[in-house]
Amino acid sequence: MTPETTSPAPRDLTRFAWLSIATAILTIALKAGAWYITGSVGLLSDAAESLVNLVAAVFALIALRVAARPADKSHHFGHSKAEYFSAAGEGVMIFVAAVFIIVTAVERLLSPTPIDNVGAGLAVSVVASILNGATAMVLLRAGRAHRSKTLQADGKHLLADVWTTVGVLVGVGLVALTGWHRLDPIVALLVGVNIIVTGWKLVTESAEGLMDVSWPKQDNADLARLMRRFTGDEVDIHALRTRESGHQRYCDFHLLVPGAWTVDRAHDLCEEIEAAVKQAFDGVVVTGHIEPREDPRSYSDYEAEVALPEY
């Protein structure tokens, strides 16, 4: 067995969490101001979601700090899974915000109240939405580039917040045009349902990550295609498995070679394969295990593996 004993150095991504925190504080102030001058329950629900954004951003900061810690005696594979706890916590906070929004909307639906200063309130909310949208784009790009579940979750949440604000603005605008005040709480109810859907997705994605989900389908296919290049009449590869742990990726495989090969020859080929995988997939930890292809015990390894393509 030739494992890579050291993982790539963790990346400090906390600067993105600080950006999210700053944006959340600013948008809370703007949206709370919009609600104060209009009295719109839709805008109140929008401000409540921004409060959740702030709590989620603090969760993200803590998780990213923990995930950036290197491997130690108690955590041989590092701390990258801490990111999933942040995403799950954010999902739970989204549910809390949704309950608050729905309860408030039902109360206002039963007792509709006129809204005031619509123009000023909408203008303030538009500014807040632009800030959220810009920050969401930064977080999503950084999340994809660094394979950070925390940043991707925070970015998706902020983007959902943008669409929530758009819906609220439309609702408040329609109230101003039609005079039908129940439109405001109806839009707030729709916002609450949308937030619940977003929270559910974050919680389920976090659960998958904690259960060592495999790489995305296309990446697995590319990996299998790369491995096939090293197989032939004498060499085969099986028990190819992948998993993700936060931003960190892992891959292991079994290399079947003739039993007559020297240890040096088999080891050199295994090292070559590992180097090719690490070059093709940034930051992956690769472990290769060498087995004699004539031994029947070499073929009773794992049922769940990445299938190599047939040619």
- Token readout for 50 is 């921004």
On whether both 36 and 76 belong to a single domain, the answer is: yes
CATH number at residue 14: 1.20.1510.10
What are 280-295's pLDDT values in tens digits? Answer: 998 789 999 999 999 8
Predicted pLDDT at 311: 42
CATH number at residue 243: 3.30.70.1350
Task: Look at residue 201 and tell me whether its pLDDT is greater than 60.
Answer: yes
Predicted pLDDT at 304: 63
Highest mean pLDDT among 26-30, 51-55, 65-69, 92-96: 26-30
Give the number of other CB atoms < 10 A from CB of residue 185: 27
Q: Which of 210, 235, 257 is the last residue of a domain?
A: 210
On whether both 144 and 229 belong to a single domain, the answer is: no
Within-domain flag for 309: no
Q: Which of 210, 239, 256 is the last residue of a domain?
A: 210
Within-domain flag for 198: yes
What are 126-163's pLDDT values in tens digits? Answer: 888 889 899 999 999 988 888 777 788 788 778 877 87
- Residue scoring higher pLDDT (213 or 135): 135
On whether both 69 and 179 belong to a single domain, the answer is: yes
What are 155-197's pLDDT values in tens digits? Answer: 877 887 787 777 777 777 777 777 777 777 787 777 778 778 7
Predicted pLDDT at 275: 94
Domain that holds residue 30: 2-210
Question: What does pTM read for this prediction?
Answer: 0.61
- Token readout for 44 is 């109140």
Predicted pLDDT at 237: 93
On whether both 22 and 101 belong to a single domain, the answer is: yes
